[in-house]
């Protein structure tokens, strides 16, 4: 690199612009405790931007490198979590990354050799699964490399559902961007919508009010509750425990009905808006919702205990699909999977624009990073989310608007980012805007961050255990593929 890399103002208001070179800057932020949270190509393909999420309370940073002769410096050696981001930037925008070798296909579906890691030796063979799976599952292809039943390596080829939603958002107005982000995924629709809305509001110099933070947090926690109940049902399905699967499916359905009662839609489509919330629930409705959630919690707790004491079920979970703390840190694992490995990462602990005051992440006592720990983590977070909802639903929900913060509140260069904790982990949204039209939208969901961890967790395990390992992460394909 000959030219000095350009830098842009940090994601949030008030921090001084960094000046050091791109790789040096990324390296020093990582050393200072920042976490890699996403990478995207700047409008016009002139630069590559990396988002570094601050340890709790501080300011997230965006560092930009210029693209010279189609090439940018790679940071994959500093932050292996950037692997997918750089491969995607290459496939979709043609940017090459100096030092990222081999730069394998991710979004592009080329020859087998272009995206698999060759596994050779006696008795090694491949099992190809998908894109169409045997159950009601999203489309994606898994290529297992095995000896006997033992998985040596897994190459996941996703992006069968790539719809180019981010590209389609470009050139549209802020509302069009929300529609595109909202269509990315139903299971994370609230999270993705809130992440986009927060970034878009920062761009427009709008400030979140306490009322708006509260409404959004209620929606986010309801989304987490039904997703976690769904994940417990899925883990039961992963070992063939039909009674547990049915019981938790029924609970999942009950929460989606509550979401529909509150928002008019079972996945809260349309409930998140930029600049405010139109959601309204009177005293009686909120009291009824709170009582329903309390009753649901009691039932979930009883059923949870039954699962824990069903030995044939519980014995299947420990020491399967391990991603320990060191691996999780290296791979950039987020969400329940990272906390089950003993990491304390939870965006909710540093979300001043949402109603998470005093929030402290929970971790299981035995944070072994295996299926058992990820299962237990879902339970711990369920009870925590029920507690949060009980506190938040102590008064009616009213329509609210974000407050204008004046020109001083808006970032100078038309770039803002936001991080929100989805049921699957940290979701980052970056929005670049010229004052009227969107120039770039990048949505990096918890599922996107964690897919490499699923492949990592599978290696060394038995092929028949893969459904269980996969379901202990229960990632979306839709919000990875976009």
Partner 1 sequence: MFTLLRDLRRLRREIALPRPDRGRSLAIRHVDAGSCNGCEHELTLASGPAYDLQHLGLGIVASPRHADVLLVTGAVTTRMREPLLVAYAAMPEPRRVAAFGDCALGHGLLAAPGELVGPVRDVLPVDLVIPGCPPTPEEIVTALLELCDRPVTRP
Nearest residue (CB) to partner 1, 90 versus 256: 256
Q: How far apart are CA 16 and CA 32, in angstroms?
A: 16
Distance in Å, CB of 143 to partner 1, minimum: 15
439 binds partner 1 (CB under 8 A): no
DSSP letter assigned to residue 81: G
306 counts as binding partner 1 under rule CB under 8 A = yes
Nearer to partner 1, 31 or 134 (CB): 134
The partner residues of 444 in beta bridges, in order of sequence, read: 428
Would you say 22 or 226 has its CB closer to partner 1?
Answer: 226
CB 232, min distance to partner 1, A: 12
CB 196 within 8 A of CB 185: no
Counting contacts by CB under 8 A, is residue 51 touching partner 1?
A: no
- 35 vs 143, beta carbon nearer partner 1: 143
Which C-beta is closer to partner 1: that of 97 or that of 267? Answer: 267
Q: Least distance to partner 1 from the beta carbon of 185, Å? A: 5
Distance CA 83, CA 333 (A): 13
Question: 23: cis peptide before it, omega within 30°?
Answer: no
Q: Any contact of residue 307 with partner 1 (CB under 8 A)?
A: yes
Residues 389-428 as x/- pattern, contact with partner 1 by CB under 8 A? ----------------------------------------
Minimum separation from the CB atom of position 258 to partner 1 (A): 14
Binding of partner 1 by 161 (CB under 8 A): yes
- Give the Cα separation of 303 and 233 in Å (integer): 11
Closest CA to 442 of 141, 36, 38: 38
Strand 96-98 and strand 71-73: the pairing is: parallel
Q: What angle do CA 126, 100, 96 make, to 5 degrees?
A: 110
Least distance between partner 1 and beta carbon 300 (Å): 11
Residue 345's SS3 state is: coil
- Residue 164 sits in the site that holds partner 1 (CB under 8 A): yes
Nearest to partner 1 of 30, 137 (CB atom): 137
Query: Interface residues for partner 1 in 262-291 (CB under 8 A)?
Result: 266-267, 269
- What totals of helices (H) and strands (E) does the chain contain, helices first? 15, 15
The rounded Cα 207 to chain-centroid distance in angstroms is: 24
Comparison of 73 and 130: residue with beta carbon closer to partner 1: 130
Structure tokens at 180: 């595109």
Tokens standing for residue 244:
């547990």
Peptide bond connecting 227 to the previous residue in cis, omega within 30 degrees of 0: no
Residues 6+ apart with CB under 8 A from 54: 33, 34, 60, 61, 350
The closest alpha carbon to 355, from 221, 249, 176, 204, belongs to 221
Q: Residue 303, interface with partner 1 (CB under 8 A)?
A: yes
Nearest to 12 by CA among 415, 444, 446, 443: 415
Q: Does 118 bind partner 1 (CB under 8 A)?
A: no
Residue 136 makes contact with partner 1 by CB under 8 A: yes
Residue 173 interacts with partner 1 (CB under 8 A)?
Answer: no
Instruction: Determine the Cα angle at 418 with ends 417 and 424, to 5°.
Output: 130
The DSSP annotation for 177-193 comes to: HHHHHHHS-STTHHHHH
Please tell me whether residue 316 binds partner 1 under the rule CB under 8 A: no
Q: Is 80 helix (H, G, I), strand (E, B) or coil?
A: helix
Q: Write the interaction track for partner 1 spanning residues 244-263; mark x where CB under 8 A is met and - where it is not.
A: x-xx-xx-xx--x-------
Note whether 203 binds partner 1 by CB under 8 A.
no
Q: What are 431's two structure tokens?
A: 């929005």
Q: How many residues appear in the chain? A: 482
By the rule CB under 8 A, 383 interacts with partner 1: no
Q: What is the DSSP string of 34-59?
A: -EEEEEEEPGGG-EEEEEEEPSTTS-
Q: 7 vs 227, which CB is nearer to partner 1?
A: 227
If one asks whether residue 464 binds partner 1 (CB under 8 A), the answer comes out as no
Question: Should residue 180 be labelled a site residue for partner 1 when binding is judged by CB under 8 A?
Answer: yes
Q: Pick the binder of partner 1 from 30, 119, 137, 288 (CB under 8 A).
A: 137
Q: If binding is defined by CB under 8 A, does position 179 make contact with partner 1?
A: yes
Letters for 81-110 (x = contact with partner 1 by CB under 8 A, - = none) are ----------------------------x-
Q: Which stretch, 156-164, 327-335, 336-344, 425-433, contacts partner 1 (CB under 8 A)?
A: 156-164
Residues that bind partner 1 (CB under 8 A): 109, 131-132, 134-139, 159-165, 167-168, 179-180, 183-187, 189, 230, 243-244, 246-247, 249-250, 252-253, 256, 266-267, 269, 299, 302-303, 305-307, 310, 476-479
């Amino acid at each position: 690199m000959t030219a000095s890399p350009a830098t842009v103002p940090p994601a949030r208001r008030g921090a001084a612009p960094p000046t050091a070179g791109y790789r040096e800057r990324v390296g020093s932020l990582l050393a200072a405790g920042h976490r890699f949270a996403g990478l995207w190509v700047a409008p016009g393909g002139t630069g590559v931007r990396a988002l570094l999420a601050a340890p709790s309370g501080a300011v997230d940073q965006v560092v930009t490198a210029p693209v010279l002769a189609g090439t940018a410096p790679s940071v994959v050696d500093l932050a292996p979590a950037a692997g997918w981001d750089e491969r995607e930037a290459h496939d979709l925008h043609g940017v090459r990354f100096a030092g990222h070798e081999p730069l394998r296909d991710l979004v592009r579906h080329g020859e087998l050799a272009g995206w698999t890691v060759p596994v050779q030796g006696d008795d090694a063979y491949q099992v190809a699964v998908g894109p169409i799976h045997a159950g009601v599952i999203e489309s994606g292809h898994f290529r297992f490399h095995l000896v006997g039943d033992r998985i040596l390596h897994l190459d996941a080829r996703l992006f069968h559902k790539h719809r180019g939603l981010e590209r389609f958002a470009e050139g549209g107005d802020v509302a069009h961007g929300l529609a595109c982000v909202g269509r990315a995924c139903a299971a994370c629709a609230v999270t993705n919508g809130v992440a986009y809305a927060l970034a878009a509001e920062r761009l427009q110099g709008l400030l979140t009010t306490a009322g708006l933070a509260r409404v959004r947090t209620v929606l986010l926690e309801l989304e987490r509750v039904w997703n976690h109940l769904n994940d417990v049902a899925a883990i039961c399905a992963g070992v063939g425990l039909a009674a547990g699967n049915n019981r938790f499916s029924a609970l999942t359905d009950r929460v989606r009905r509550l979401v529909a009662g509150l928002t008019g839609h079972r996945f809260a489509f349309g409930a998140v808006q930029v600049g405010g919330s139109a959601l309204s629930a009177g005293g009686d409705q909120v009291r009824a919702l709170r009582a329903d959630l309390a009753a649901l919690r009691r039932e979930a707790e009883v059923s949870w205990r039954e699962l824990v004491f069903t030995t044939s079920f519980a014995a299947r979970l420990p020491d399967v699909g391990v991603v320990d703390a060191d691996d999780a840190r290296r791979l950039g694992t987020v969400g329940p999977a990272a906390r089950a490995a003993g990491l304390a990462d939870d965006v909710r602990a540093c979300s001043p624009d949402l109603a998470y005051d005093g929030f402290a992440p929970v971790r299981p006592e035995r944070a072994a990073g295996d299926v058992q720990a990820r299962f237990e983590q879902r339970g711990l977070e369920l009870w925590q989310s029920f507690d949060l909802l009980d506190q938040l639903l102590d008064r009616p929900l009213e329509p609210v608007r974000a407050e204008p913060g004046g020109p001083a509140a808006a970032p100078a260069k038309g770039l803002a980012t936001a991080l929100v904790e989805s049921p699957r982990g940290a979701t980052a949204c970056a929005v670049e805007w010229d004052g009227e039209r969107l120039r770039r939208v990048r949505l990096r969901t918890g599922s996107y961050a964690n897919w490499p961890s699923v492949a990592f967790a599978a290696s060394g395990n038995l092929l028949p255990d893969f459904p269980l390992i996969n379901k202990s992460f229960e990632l979306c394909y839709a919000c990875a593929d976009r």
